[in-house]
Amino acid sequence: MSSSPLCIGLSLAATWLSASGWRRPDSRVEQLHGAPFYRDVARRAEQACLDFVFRPDALFLDVPALARGPGFSSLDPTLLMAALARDTRHIGLVTTAATSFNPPYVVARQLQSLDWISEGRAGWNIVTALDGSRNFGDAPMPPSAQRYRKALEFTEVVRALWRSYPQEAVLADRESGQYADVTRIAPIAHRGEYFSVQGPLNVPGRAHGRIPLFQAGASDWGRDFAARVADAVFAATPDIECGVALRRDLRQRALDHGREPAAIRVLPGLSLYLAASRAQARDLHRAAHADQDRARQRLYVGRALGLDLERLDPDQPITVRMLGQPGPDMRSPTHVQLLRRLVEREQPCLRELLARPEAAASAHWTVVGTVDDAVAEIQRRAEAGAADGFIALPGGAMQSLDLLLDGVMPRLAAMGLARRAYAGTTFASNLGLAGSCCEPGRAVP
């Protein structure tokens, strides 16, 4: 079989340590806050020719959850990617920077610096953040629509700053004594609803530079934002139907905003529990979730559906008419929508619902099985038009990561579904992206 390679990334959130995975003797959890741990993973991902490694981020600490696992306690993602740039040569390095709390000038400078340090391999995962406002003042988190309006202006400011000091302005003419052509460097003089930024940026752009833009979130506001600016969307699509619908919707929105539909790629999270046999994979998945806080899960699902789950018979079907209003402070509207859409589509009983991936915190596409099972599922999604690639989230143990890199990736490459070698010298060129550093480009066929 031959097909266009998928865009494949690997999360550096160490998902194989989540749930009870960190308790395994080979988990390396003690190394979680040191560079060597991530350096080894990034080097192996590059050897397997993945398109990028990606570090999600949160600007708060969920202290109750920390009692049972490391959660989102992590190194700063941009500093981590800068450290990994020294030890890799080809793989893309996607960091996360929130638009709700950071100044755009600082983010523009950090990303431009990372692009120089990595020689053109930086990527930006644009998030509005779901929590953490109390670490940046006393104001509560604004509603989704306001967060995305701010994110759009933030992104426009960052692009303008990248454009404000082009590398072509740097002459470094020793003979004449002229370092730069200052007529080509200009302030952006931005005055908007949320930001006032004079500019120019104090780090020049790389010649013909292009920093790919990623976005996570599938709410209506998030989709519209992605359709305007993103090259790829990280999405929770637990089944093929969700993936097809999201991909079709994003492509239409991109077209409505004057972009090529193929310019935006849907990259669902793929949670992988892999072993030599299906029985062993099921045992791995079961062991990883043995200590899951069931009471916390039930409370979350109940608030998302507007239901008191304690009053329900575990075998009673849940229907649309039973649903109430979601809790007012739910962190992820996207996840709430996934849960409610599941009820609308299938009317599961409570026992069935709590066993589904949508009832977990991430609601990601999940494969529990062998390398063959994973390859078959990836091929099925790609052929159904439900994904343009995926973000690998190995689970349960390091063996899931090992089997992904040493088993799944070579099989996908042999089928034409993954790259055999890097095509260019920059992240954008490896992704086949055209366009300047200040505009979303299009996928080159």
Question: How buried is 87 (Cβ within 10 angstroms: 0-12 exposed, 13-18 middle, 19+ buried)?
Answer: middle
148 is in an annotated binding site: yes
Q: Which residues contact 140 (CB under 8 A, 6 or more apart)?
A: 133
Instruction: Name residues whose C-beta falls within 8 Å of residue 296's C-beta, 6 or more positions apart in sequence.
Output: none
Strands of 288-432, DSSP E: 365-369, 389-394
Cα gap 187→195, rounded to integer Å = 14
- Please give the structure tokens belonging to residue 132: 């953490």
Measure the CA–CA gap between 368 and 397, rounded to whole angstroms. Answer: 12
Question: Is the Cβ–Cβ distance between 314 and 350 less than 8 Å?
Answer: yes
Q: Please give the backbone phi and psi of residue 49, each rounded to the nearest 5 degrees, phi first.
A: 65, 35
Structure tokens at 300: 């979350």
Rounded Cα–Cα distance for residues 439 and 433 (Å): 11
Structure tokens at 425: 């010298």
Which token pair is 236?
């929770």
Sequence-distant (≥ 6) Cβ neighbours of residue 324 within 8 angstroms: 305, 306, 307
219 is in an annotated binding site: yes
Please identify which residue in the block is written with the tokens 């590398």: 167
Nearest to 404 by CA among 417, 386, 392, 416: 392
Q: What residue type is assigned to position 367 of the chain?
A: V
Residue tagged 């998945």 (tokens)? 285
Binding site membership: which residues? 57, 96, 148, 219
Binding site membership for FMN: which residues? 57, 96, 148, 219
